[in-house]
Amino acid sequence: MPHAKLTIDLPAHTWIGELSRQHPAVVFRVVTGIPGDDVGIGLVRLVASDPLPIITDIQDRETVERLELLWKHDDEALLQVETTNPLPLLPVWRAGVPLEMPFDIQDGQATWEVATSRSRLSALRTQLENLGIGFTIEHVREIDTSQADRLLTDRQRAVLREAVEAGYYRTPREATLGDVADRLGVASSTASDVLHRAEDHVIHWFAEEHMSG
């Protein structure tokens, strides 16, 4: 299974493509993004010397339907943005490719890392070309079974290991999510979120490796 790193040239007519070029020092960190009813919904962490003017600029974009400021501290802010033009993420949604999150956008370019099958990687390339989105493939490397743990971040791997050792995945279950969270010293919601992301990566990898074709 290939692991690919791509540099994406965001179209200038998208709000984030235009604003990131107007403010090249600002980092737009996309924490997550999901498709909604006729909109795309994204959680974006803004890193700027003064986030407030950037937030105002985002609100003024015609394609931004709604913006919520979730928190702000010094040079960082977390925003939930709903846009009618989620073009930058359409290719991965349409190709069915799990995109590693978060990813950064700066000065009109995004850096993507994906681990998927060759057929889906080819579909992603086709979608990018069909939508007129420029891109450069930085590298494509094969990941074999012994390398599968590279699909997970250190945090995800640690939480997943704790859940396994606690008996969370045994039948009958020997530990609750709360038990796992207590062992880690985190909130249950945090443990749930990290486990969900880890499980998503592992399941997609297993399905592509052993159930495709």
- In the sheet where 103-106 sits, what is the strand order? 64-73, 76-83, 40-47, 27-35, 103-106, 109-115, 2-9, 134-142
pLDDT of residue 144: 59
pLDDT of residue 2: 75
pLDDT of residue 209: 60
pLDDT of residue 3: 80
Q: What is the Cα–Cα distance from 72 to 51, expressed in whole angstroms?
A: 8
pLDDT of residue 158: 87
Q: Using one digit for the tens of pLDDT, what is the confidence trace for 85-101? A: 888 888 998 999 888 88
End-to-end CA separation in angstroms for the chain: 14
Token couple for 192: 């749930």
Q: Using one digit for the tens of pLDDT, what is the confidence trace for 128-160? A: 999 999 999 888 877 654 555 567 888 888 899
Report the sign of the C-alpha dihedral through residues 80, 6, 100, 51, in that order: negative
CA-based max dimension of the chain = 56
| More confident site: 186 or 207 | 186
Token couple for 145: 């079974």
DSSP strand pairing (27-35 vs 64-73): unpaired
Is it the case that residue 212 has pLDDT exceeding 60? no
pLDDT of residue 189: 87
Residue with tokens 């791997």: 157
Q: What are the sequence ranges of the domains in the chain?
A: 2-142, 151-210
Q: Using one digit for the tens of pLDDT, what is the confidence trace for 40-88? A: 899 999 999 999 999 999 999 999 999 999 999 889 999 999 999 888 8
Q: What is the mean pLDDT of the chain?
A: 87
pLDDT of residue 179: 93
Is it the case that residue 7 has pLDDT exceeding 90? yes
Task: From 36, 203, 34, 204, select the one nearest 114 (Cα to Cα).
Answer: 204
Report the sign of the C-alpha dihedral through residues 143, 147, 150, 152, in that order: positive
Q: What percent of the chain has pLDDT over 70?
A: 91
pTM: 0.65
DSSP strand pairing (109-115 vs 2-9): antiparallel
CB 1 within 8 A of CB 114: no
- Under CATH, to which class is 151-210 assigned? mainly alpha
